Amino acid sequence: MRGHELERACGSLKEPFMSAFEFVFIDGRSYEEAAAYFHCGPGTVKSRVNRAR
């Protein structure tokens, strides 16, 4: 049940918040890895993840 709630919630997020959230929380990667992947600073990734939450 909670998995479906998470799917719906993630599906309603706008880019780039959804990508950052999935990369860090679902894939289990670090903020630094996400920053390198998305070509931005770790602070930007943290901000996007925080807004997604």
Torsion of CA 27, 22, 24, 2, to 10 degrees: -80
Counting residues of the chain whose pLDDT is more than 90, the rounded percentage is 68
pLDDT category, 38, cuts 50, 70, 90? very high
Give the pLDDT score at 25: 87
Q: Judge contact between 51 and 16, C-beta under 8 A.
A: no
| Peptide bond before residue 42 is cis, with ω within 30 degrees of 0 | no
Rounded to two decimals, the pTM is: 0.81
**pLDDT digit string (tens) for 5-24?**
877 877 788 999 999 999 99
CATH of domain 2-52: 1.10.10.10
Distance, CA of 2 to chain centre: 18
What is the rounded distance in angstroms from the CA atom of residue 34 to the CA atom of residue 22?
A: 10
